[in-house]
A and B are shown apart, each in its own frame.
Chain A
Amino acid sequence: MKAPTIGSWFTRGEIAAPADIEGAALRSDRFRLEREGDWRRLEQIVIRMEKGGLRRVDDEDLLALPTLYRTAASSLSVARETSLDAATLGYLESLVQRAWFQVYGPRKGFFAWLREFFFGGWSRAVREIWLDICIALFVCVAGAVVGWLLVAQNSDWYYRLIPIGLAGDRGPGASRETLLASLGTEESTSGLSTFAASLFSNNAGVCILAFALGFAFGIPSLMLLVHNMAMLGAILWLFSEAGLIVEFSAWLSVHGTTELFGILLSGAAGLHIGRSMAFPGERSVLEAASISGRRSAVVMVGVVIMMVVAAILEAFPRQLVEGAQNRFIIGGTFGVFWLAYFFLYFPSGGIVDDLDDAEGLA
């Protein structure tokens, strides 16, 4: 790429060879050559950080990083005023930007973040969207009641609400025995873990959908909740007609307390985004959306975890444990656990994000 005479001018080693500063004809090039060593050192550190985080950088370099970063940044502002060397300016701009991303990059690793999430972050985020949870809960209950009433008035509604594949032989007019059999247990665990994995994948997908639809001012999230709960209401009616409401509730509660709670939270998280975009208050819409979006994202990570738990419960205990009482105990325990974890668990010493940001480079 270079003319042959230039290629031999100085060799590019590991550390930049001290260039002929006096030999440079231009003042701006002398400025550059004097500082080039620092820039290159910063570049090396940044490259190492980009490859593998802080662990690959030794202490000495890490201590020098803020100083080197500021040197490069001030070099950039001086160079902008004194140099017309486009290549140097371009290099400095990219270097300062890359260094900035590393210096102000995520301070916590993923696992540190996860720990903070379990010990406080999750339950705090859930508490912060309490109003949306209340609205979503109201909508859920209303949906279930509507589903029940619709089917009670005209059983044709059942087929409109419940997809054929899901209904199976559970339909209006099915015998009590058929319905009871569908609440029965399996004899062996064979195939159940596959069932669990596919349940998880499916349910987590539904929850993420309920959350993501909150983007359209939360209305689709609520519609999704209403639809799902209307289905539940219809099935509840079906079983209560056959006098099996207690058995069905027990069967459902095993995983339902976890799963329905998760769906409720994801709908609430979606609603939270939608609500803050519709009513941003004094903030700009974009700002409001991003603040609520980040908060809801924390809730959603929790929802995915709840879906894992729910899928395991749905596939194993529900299919294997018999008896309404045992099923209620399992379901009730999980329900109480989630409620206690979200609303009674106030760990102290949680890291406040703003504080974290304010520390900056200091």
Chain B
Amino acid sequence: MSAAIAPLPTDKRQRTLITPEGIAIPVTIASRGSRMGALVLDFLILIFGLIAIFVFLAFVAEGLFEEMDNAVEGAISGAAEFLIILLILLIFMARYGYFLTMELGPRGATWGKRMVGIRVAARGGGRLTPEAIIARNLLRDIELFMPLIFLLIAPSGESGSFGLAGMVWFMVFMAFPFFNKDAMRAGDVIAGTWVVDAPRTRLAEALSTQGAAVQGTSDMTGARYEFGEEELSIYGEHELQTLERMLRDAQPEALSAVHATICRKIGWDPGAGDERAFLEAFYAQLRARLEGDMRFGKRKADKFS
């Protein structure tokens, strides 16, 4: 987790939930790409998990696996039979249980979803119920597993045009999220859920308690930076927040470039070596001015307004 830098708002995916006590909470619909990524991650986890369990079982009970080949003929010991049942149930659980139990948890997300930072939520701000999770994951079966099985058995040639049918089926459901603005898949429609971004940002330090932002005085040179009315009226909120990001990222080259640009813009002579103090002071004074205006209902979105 890196320090908090507010994500740039992507307006098309912004939604506002109104909670029962009337607080508006902004949510961002997860992008289709990140959902695809989460799905691929979940599949990898499932496949490698199953392989690991199989390898472990093969290692522990090597003889029983050999015996399983004879299972068709009916000669099989109790232990091998138990193992087969275990495997059948394991695959069943992997198919239906993994997504279900993970999304029922307090994070509302599978491991794959957690990794890309998204979660399941009830559409429109209600409570996410177990029924909804069950419904959306039962639908996953026809969206994903059925056509995948079609595709897997297609190359054997026994099933005729099954492969093609599976392909069309798969495409229809994969394309589904692209045809509604909330990027819902069929399961989300049935369950009344959607998938939203679940950002986990950490609180960054307050910038105005640091360095030259406090008094406008550089710790290094002792120089005092004071900006006048005219110099501060050039930039707006967008530039302020860009500057904030740069100060938090603290890349020396970027800072000196920005320093030069600002100096040119406000007509100062750009020096060298004390860029950070200059920018901190400029940031603090610009923000004080813009926030002051804000309290009187005057907002300046960017330098063009």
Contacts and interface: CB of A to CB of B under 8 A. Distances in A.
B201 A300 contact: no
Given A29-B208, A73-B23, A294-B132, A104 B127 contact: yes
A212 B69 CA distance: 35
B130 A106 contact: yes
B203 A26 contact: no
Majority DSSP secondary structure for residues of A touching B: helix
Interface stretch (B24-32, B33-41, B226-234, B259-267): B24-32
A359 to B, nearest CB: 10
A84 B291 contact: yes
Interface in B189-240: 189-193, 198-211, 213-215, 219, 237, 240
B26 A106 contact: no
A286 B191 CA distance: 9
Nearest to A22: B209
Nearest to B245: A86
A11 B63 CA distance: 59
Interface string B117-139: 00101010011111110110011
A290 B123 contact: yes
A290 B20 contact: no
B207 A85 contact: yes
Interface stretch (B42-50, B53-61, B100-108, B160-168): B100-108
B111 to A, nearest CB: 14
B218 to A, nearest CB: 11
Interface of B: 2-7, 17, 19-21, 23-27, 71, 74, 76, 81-82, 84-85, 88-89, 91-92, 96, 101, 104, 106-108, 119, 121, 123, 126-132, 134-135, 138-139, 141-142, 146, 186, 189-193, 198-211, 213-215, 219, 237, 240-241, 244-245, 248-250, 276, 284, 287-288, 290-291, 294-295
Interface of A: 1-3, 5-6, 9-10, 19-20, 23-29, 32-33, 36, 39-40, 43, 49-53, 70, 73-74, 77, 81-91, 93-98, 100-102, 104-108, 110, 113, 190-191, 193-194, 196-198, 200-201, 204-205, 208-209, 211-213, 215, 273, 286-287, 289-291, 293-298, 300-301, 353, 356-357, 360-361
7 closest A-B pairs by beta carbon, nearest first, are A290-B192, A90-B6, A293-B190, A297-B135, A294-B131, A212-B142, A86-B6
30 contacts: A3-B276, A6-B211, A23-B209, A24-B214, A27-B291, A28-B291, A40-B203, A84-B237, A85-B207, A86-B5, A86-B244, A87-B5, A88-B4, A88-B204, A93-B25, A97-B26, A98-B198, A102-B106, A105-B108, A106-B104, A110-B130, A190-B76, A193-B81, A201-B89, A201-B92, A209-B141, A286-B123, A290-B132, A293-B191, A356-B127
